[in-house]
Amino acid sequence: MAHILACCSVTTRTNVAYCDIANCVAILYTDCMSDTNEKTPIARRFRGFLPVVIDVETGGFNPKRDALLEVAAVLLDMDDQGLVSRKQTISCHIEPFPGANLDIESLEFTGIDPYNPFRMAKPEHEALEHIFKPVRQAIKDSGCSRAVLVGHNASFDLSFINAAADRSKIKRNPFHPFSTFDTVSLAALAYGQTVLARAVKAAGFDWNSEKAHSAVYDTERTADLFCTIINQWNDFSIKQQEAIPSIKATEGI
């Protein structure tokens, strides 16, 4: 709006303001093009969305009833050649919310003791802000508009993140409310594998079963998988991408 006002030639006649609309539109268009050109590679690559890899460990499968016990997030970076890599890992142990259900089979599967004092667990609101704050900063630094959750069976992770954010009355959830990048689908396409351990091995990484079902370990391996698939696709399709016509970010919404 400031750009428009600065370029307007205004004459007041019976309290009516006249503006050189053509010049305003031209300058505003130039500013928009400049903003697009100044976006970071990762903002341009994913249509203004920032992929953030998330894994949660829980006390069951129902996000509204069962406890959220661990969250880990991996922030990603992209270089000028379009190669994606891990940048930072953030994690937090979480106290079960009041009245939360804790399914015994789920706890045996993950090996989590929710009430172990050495977990140094935080209340849900504090834990989510510990994760959300650096995600919001990464969105700002990258010139993106919002984060998109990357996960293996990503809808599960997103459902627990959204439910916890609602319980905590957090209004500025940085993640898109329903869109995700799911490494199950990506791995099925790239390697014919859908199980995380097998997909990670197919991508050329080791898998340590003893460390699995820790939010940090699973998130970092999921991030490695996602980055490898994206980077392989870039190698394969760079010429094809150059032939694709530019599409405005608002088209198809």
Active-site residue set: 213
Query: To which residue do tokens 């019976």 refer?
Result: 14
CA nearest to 147, candidates 165, 135, 156? 135
Side-chain half-sphere CA neighbours of 188 within 13 A? 8
End-to-end CA, the chain: 24
Query: To which residue do tokens 């031209």 refer?
Result: 26
Reduced to 3 DSSP states, what percent helix, strand and coil does the chain have, rounded to the nearest 5? 45, 20, 30
Token pair for residue 30? 């130039």
Side-chain half-sphere CA neighbours of 193 within 13 A? 14
CA nearest to 32, candidates 242, 252, 251, 249? 249
CA torsion sign for 48, 184, 197, 192 is negative
Q: Is 228 buried (19+), middle (13-18) or exposed (0-12) by CB count in 10 A?
A: buried
CA–CA distance, 7 with 34 (Å, rounded to integer):
17
Distance set, CA 220 to CA 164, 176, 206, 213, 224 (Å): 22, 21, 12, 12, 6
The SS3 of residue 15 is coil
